[in-house]
Amino acid sequence: MIMKDTNRKKPLGVAIAGLGFGETVHIPALKSNHGLEAISLWHPRSDRLVEASNKHSISSQKDWNALLNDPKVEGIILATPPEPRFKLAYEALDAGKHLLLEKPVALKAEEIKMLQRLAIQKRLSVAVDFEYRAVPLFMQAKRLISQGVIGDPWLIKLDWLMSSRSNPSRPWNWYSEAEKGGGVLGALGTHAFDMIHWLFGPTKSINALLSTSIKERIEPHSNVKKEVTSEDTVLAQLQIGGAETDFLIPAQITLSAVAREGRGCWIEVYGSKGTLVLGSKNQKDYVHGFGLSLTKAGEQAKAVIPDQDLAFKRTWTDGRVAPVARLQSWWAESIENGEPIIPGLTEGLSSQIVCDRIRESALTGQRYQFENY
């Protein structure tokens, strides 16, 4: 149980650590949430920190320990690159701060288990930014599947074909290094497997292949070619099953960051009573461009719009802001009510376990069978 905050009369003071996605998406999302207030920014580079602080009129703190010791900072959004995230998250929890974590939460499942234990001990709320769970069309697809509109799912196909890394001239950075959490598995796979688990149930078995198509990139500071050790393509075959049925649903997952003119993100669900297709060619936005269609047996495909209770009250030019704002609000409610948040560390752990086993399967060539998480 989380420590319930029954006496709160002012917004929760939030610091943002990391100024990529943290600045472009989390800051505008926070400004729309009455229960949260961005009161501080943190970044290891002073010039970047000062620039963002001046631009958004938010105080800044370069000293991480000083930030943790600031009583006005009650929660922290960690939007750093993956490698330092576990250490920063552990220190923040140890200092008594609620957390909203970008994904991957950590580089290995065992690290997430450590965060779980500490969060329970400290009675703190830890959200994971699986923001597709907050997108109206995804929520509508979940509702239709739960209502049995397509019957029993017989086949799941998820293609996420992006071109973000397809240019060989794109410079080498942390994304190119597996040891730092780079690669398409952490960037897209963590989301993809969470989607599958949320919509259908846990992974029961998996086998996979990993591939690195562009094997070298120029390191910008030295102007020297460096080896790319992270994967840019993942092919995975899963069996998905829930507690309510013995039937295992076959699922095929294809992820790529080097698909030139890639078709974007598409989920196809073929069931005993019909077919559901959710997808978008837009490679930069979670909301704008997505469509959902339902085809019942013997009928033509029909477009589906979200039920009114799922629709956003407001959207932004950057469609990513609205679902992140919704997830931030769930986090604030969790803290206020003292209830665990979904998606949280349990969901982050389930996704990371699949990512870890994919790497093992790709290395050994064997199918991996899952016990209960």
Of the candidates 328, 322, 329, 325, the residue with the CA atom closest to the CA atom of residue 306: 322
Q: What distance in Å separates the CA atoms of residue 270 and residue 223, rounded to the nearest whole number? A: 49
Structure tokens at 353: 């376990």
- Identify the pLDDT of residue 257: 97
Q: Could you tell me where the DSSP H helices lie in the chain?
A: 21, 27-31, 46-56, 64-68, 85-94, 109-122, 136-146, 184, 190-199, 321-337, 345-364
Structure tokens at 343: 């998606």
Q: Is the peptide bond before 343 cis (omega within 30 degrees of 0)?
A: yes
Q: Tell me: the pLDDT tens digits for 246-262?
A: 789 999 999 999 999 99
- Identify the pLDDT of residue 243: 55
- Identify the pLDDT of residue 288: 87
- Are 210 and 362 contacting, i.e. CB atoms less than 8 angstroms apart? yes
Domains of the chain (ranges; CATH) run: 12-129+323-342 (3.40.50.720), 132-304+352-369 (3.30.360.10)
- Identify the pLDDT of residue 286: 77
Burial class (CB in 10 A: 0-12, 13-18, 19+), 293: middle
Q: What distance in Å separates the CA atoms of residue 196 and residue 251, rounded to the nearest whole number? A: 9
Residue 371 zone, left/alpha/beta (φ > 0; ψ -120 to 50; rest)? beta
| C-alpha to C-alpha distances, 213 to 165, 257, 314, nearest whole angstrom | 10, 10, 40
Q: Tell me: the pLDDT tens digits for 31-90?
A: 999 999 999 999 999 999 999 999 999 999 999 999 999 999 999 999 999 999 999 999
Q: What distance in Å separates the CA atoms of residue 307 and residue 143, rounded to the nearest whole number? A: 10
DSSP string, 7-53: T--SPEEEEEE-SSHIIIIIHHHHHT-TTEEEEEEE-S-HHHHHHHH
Instruction: Report the percent of the chain where pLDDT is more than 70.
Output: 96
Burial class (CB in 10 A: 0-12, 13-18, 19+), 245: exposed
- Identify the pLDDT of residue 308: 97
DSSP lists the bridge partners of residue 98 as 75
- Identify the pLDDT of residue 370: 87
Residue 157 zone, left/alpha/beta (φ > 0; ψ -120 to 50; rest)? beta
- Identify the pLDDT of residue 7: 62
- Ranges of the chain whose pLDDT falls below 70: 1-8, 242-245, 372-373
Would you report the helix, strand and coil content of the chain in percent, each value rounded to 5? 35, 25, 40
- Are 251 and 156 contacting, i.e. CB atoms less than 8 angstroms apart? yes
- Identify the pLDDT of residue 283: 81
Structure tokens at 325: 């704002």
Predicted TM-score (pTM) of the model is 0.94
